[in-house]
């Protein structure tokens, strides 16, 4: 009788220790759900530029992609942060999803052979606008599967105009006026001031 009682007490004690250990583990483990940034849908152009400029300048410093180009592309592709893909899913550049990457299926407009069509595609979801800017930098640096040097001219361009034309010439976007739109946005909002900062 005493042996059974002793075994029961020991088993109960071990169960309590295991439960306490599990509780400590669950309380201290990192959250499984990453926190995704959220942004207002009615952001002004000025607010948008101010928010992403530091990340764009960091990418310029690391990879020589002009900050003005990054900001202008992000602005045009995301309607200056007001497109659902940007403010809800942190995708500033309309980057398509690949593999097991977090994604969302949305409608988009594509210009194919001079005709604009609405299509549904899977787009990448990012935790922050800075993550989206990093993904954009990787595309510029690594190119595409068929041509790893496709956008190399963007990183070697001496000015934002040349960088804009390098993007268009090498098929970054289907819009035939893409380079002109980037240059216009850079000039309108004086974005080239972000290309000149202390390294």
Q: Residue 9 has what pLDDT? A: 64
In the block, which residue shows the tokens 């942190």? 90
Residue 52: pLDDT over 80: yes
Which tokens in the block code for residue 106? 């949305």
Among 25-34, 55-64, 67-76, 80-89, which stretch is predicted with the lowest mean pLDDT?
A: 25-34
> pLDDT confidence of 21, banded at 50, 70, 90?
low
**What are the residues facing 122 on neighbouring strands?**
105
The full 3-state SS of the chain, as one line of letters, equals CHHHHHHHHHHHHHHHHHHHHHHHHHHHCCCCCCCCCCCCCCCCHHHHHHHHHHHHHHHHHHHCCCHHHHHHHHHHHHCCCCCHHHHCCCCCCCCECCCCCCEEEEEEEEEECCEEEEEEEEEECCCCHHHHHHHHHHHHHHCECCECCCCHHHHHCCCHHHHHHHHHHCCCCCCCCHHHHHHHHHHHCCHHHHHCCCC
Q: Residue 117 has what pLDDT? A: 84
Mean pLDDT of the chain: 87
Report domain extents, the chain: 49-95+124-194
- What does the pLDDT look like over 122-159, one tens digit per residue? 999 999 999 999 999 999 999 999 999 999 999 999 99
Residue 82 burial class via C-beta count within 10 angstroms: exposed 0-12, middle 13-18, buried 19 and up: middle
Cα 178 to Cα 106, 170, 191, distances in angstroms? 22, 11, 16
> pLDDT confidence of 1, banded at 50, 70, 90?
low
Percent of the chain with pLDDT over 90: 67
Among 22-31, 107-116, 136-145, which stretch is predicted with the lowest mean pLDDT?
A: 22-31
Which tokens in the block code for residue 102? 């977090």
Q: Residue 164 has what pLDDT? A: 98
In the block, which residue shows the tokens 């995704």? 36
CATH code of the domain occupying 49-95+124-194:
1.10.530.10
Higher pLDDT, 26 or 100: 100
Strands 115-124 and 103-112: antiparallel
**Is-above-0.95 flag for pTM?**
no
User: Can you tell me the mean pLDDT for 82-99?
Assistant: 94
Residue 163: pLDDT over 90: yes
Residue 106: pLDDT over 80: yes
User: Can you tell me the mean pLDDT for 52-78?
Assistant: 97
Q: Residue 139 has what pLDDT? A: 96
Q: Residue 27 has what pLDDT? A: 53
């Amino acid at each position: 009788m005493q042996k059974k009682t002793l075994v029961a007490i020991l088993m109960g004690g071990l169960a309590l220790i295991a439960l306490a250990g599990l509780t400590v583990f669950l309380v201290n483990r990192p959250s499984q759900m990453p926190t995704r940034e959220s942004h207002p849908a009615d952001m002004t152009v000025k607010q948008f530029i101010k928010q992403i400029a530091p990340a764009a300048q960091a990418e310029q410093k690391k990879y020589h992609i002009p900050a003005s180009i990054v900001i202008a592309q992000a602005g045009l592709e995301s309607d200056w942060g007001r497109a659902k893909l940007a403010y809800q899913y942190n995708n500033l550049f309309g980057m398509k999803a690949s593999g097991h990457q977090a994604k969302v299926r949305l409608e988009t407009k594509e210009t194919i052979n001079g005709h604009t069509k609405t299509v549904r595609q899977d787009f990448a979801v990012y935790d922050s606008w800075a993550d989206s800017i990093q993904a954009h930098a990787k595309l510029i640096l690594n190119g595409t599967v068929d041509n790893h040097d496709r956008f190399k001219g963007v990183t070697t361009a001496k000015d934002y105009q040349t960088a804009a034309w390098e993007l268009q010439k090498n098929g970054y976007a289907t819009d035939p006026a893409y380079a002109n739109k980037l240059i216009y946005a850079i000039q309108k909002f004086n974005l080239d001031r972000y290309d000149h900062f202390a390294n």
